[in-house]
Structure 1
Amino acid sequence: MPYCVECGVELAASEPECPLCHTPVMKKNYQIDTEQDLYPVTKQAPQPPKPASNIMGLFTILFILAGIISITVDVAPDSSADWAGIVLLSLSFAWLILAFPLLFLRKSIGAALTADMVTTASYLFLLDIITGYSGWGILASSSILTVTAILVVPTILRGGKGLFAAVLDGLILASYLLIIQEGYSDSKWFVELGLPISLLTTAFLAAVFFTASSIRRRRYRLSSLILVYIGLFNMGIDVLVSRFLDIQLHVSRWSSIVLMSSLAAALIIYLIYRVPRVRHALKKRLHL
């Protein structure tokens, strides 16, 4: 086999030049074989079986055995089931919590987390019903579903649909607050407090989504503006709560401290990325 005179790579007899440095091959006793395949197709090694199915099979067997043992121990003394239902429900919940990440994690982390959150909410609701239904299951499950929906909606509605996602998140929050008022509160505070908070949250999310879609490349500016939005959002919450409770506003309230801290952090981030001398000095100090 000939070798490249420039870089020393071993060459095939049919190659007229080096595939790396493209130096012409000096041939004397070698005849170029044009029929030889320079780059033969290599067969791919067989992929090993995915271990997720094996792990889920092992978990399934263990959970089934645990369920059978629980039913046997509960029913054997007096031929009646007292606590086995709660154990079976808990085992089913644990199996689903483990199954969704193993089945959907490679495809979509959001889908796995959403499935787990929905499973958790259903488990708490059913556990409340089995233990006598005191009402805490609906509150806990609705809280989990509300947080899940607020986090999932922006990930689904991408590509210029930030305003619609913000409005939908505001409606979800307003519905949740209305459910709390109607089911767990004796006073009527939704119109005076819950609805304004939902509108303020919608405006905050709309501003964040619009800013994120407008200045994607300049992350330092986006981070600074989001910090400012967070400070203003807390100030608005403080004003709404104080107005609802008929508390006189003062400059030294907690929201003003949050706003000043957010403005200071936003200014620091902006200066670090805007002024090259400050950025280089910080990297040198932190050994970045």
Structure 2
Amino acid sequence: MINWQHLLMTAPLVLAICTALAGAASAKKTARSLATVTAVLGFLCSAGILVLRGVQMNHLPLSSGLDFSLWLCAVLFLFTIFLLGKLRMPVVVVLLSIMIAILAAWVLSQNHEVAPMAPALRSPWLSVHVLSAMLSYSVLTVSFVLSLVIVTRKVDKTTDRLDEWAYRLVLLGLPLLTVMLVTGSIWAEYAWGSYWSWDWKEVWALVTWLVYALYLHLRVGGWRNKQAAYLNILGFAVVVFTFFGVSYLLPGLHSYL
């Protein structure tokens, strides 16, 4: 018997790969149009899966790492569509599509069964906390991709433009990280009776905030292009460890994520 749920979960991965392949030739109008179509389909599939899971759960699907990653896929597909029209740089589309494919592959490897919400997650602060985290990680992922391109190119007008975009995305990402930390603390007091428990996820979320705050401080102070890009890449490495590394290597109060 065909497992339709599992089959549906493969769609974002397949469409991310198709977007990367078409994006590699997106300097040509036909390929760019094809990449846009596959990215739109990727967004619709990711959003559709979230809607189906939400109907099954009878609430917004925000209670697991799988759901969080599906939200990330959906938003990153939207960014891909936007960048296809604005930057006209195939390498950016390819790299961003690869990031989506990695996320989608991880989602595919997870248990897709819908489970009851953990008691600690039953808080009105959950939606704001998780969605602010998801949005911040999304914009920081795009900023990372732009910085990755910067460090592989000679400094020119193009890298100046990418550097400015990367900077503006961090300007958006840091306030979202702040909202994540504040609402997470309020939620923690509700769930565990303390605003701060020195849980590993909390600690590394704070480290993430500090790294990006340092990036903005140094960027305003004069760091540009490759100098700033390397620090931005470090910041994203901390994001990845905070989301994935902590969950696997340093489980704690957030182990259900």
TM-score range, shorter chain: 0.3 to 0.5
Structure number with higher relative contact order (C-alpha < 8 Å, ≥ 6 residues apart): 2
Larger radius of gyration: 1
TM-score normalised over the length of structure 2:
0.32
Q: Which structure dedicates a bigger proportion of its chain to helix?
A: 2
TM-score normalised over the length of structure 1:
0.30
